[in-house]
Amino acid sequence: MEEVSASLCIEMNLTCPNDECGAYINILNEKETNNYDHDEDGHLLRQMFPKHGSHDDFECEEVTCGECQTTFNVKGLEW
């Protein structure tokens, strides 16, 4: 029987808080965050799957929308 491998795709999505923009942003995709990798060292994924604590502790600072250049902070993570 033939074997294939699977891929795991993880996204952290939000809507730009700028009312005039409203772009849908995946903060794990640097193309959508003004070419900045917020998870370069795995910081966001470690917060996503915490050993201790909860997702309420999740935060990502100084995210810049790739569409309108609005900068904002993210606090909390919904599952």
- pLDDT score for 56: 75
CA distances (Å), origin 32, targets 3, 52, 61, 62: 34, 30, 15, 13
pLDDT tens figures, 24-73: 999 999 999 999 999 999 999 988 888 776 777 899 999 999 999 999 99
pTM of the model: 0.84
Residues in the chain: 79
- pLDDT score for 75: 94
The domain ranges of the chain are 13-75
- pLDDT score for 61: 96
pLDDT tens figures, 9-23: 999 999 999 999 999
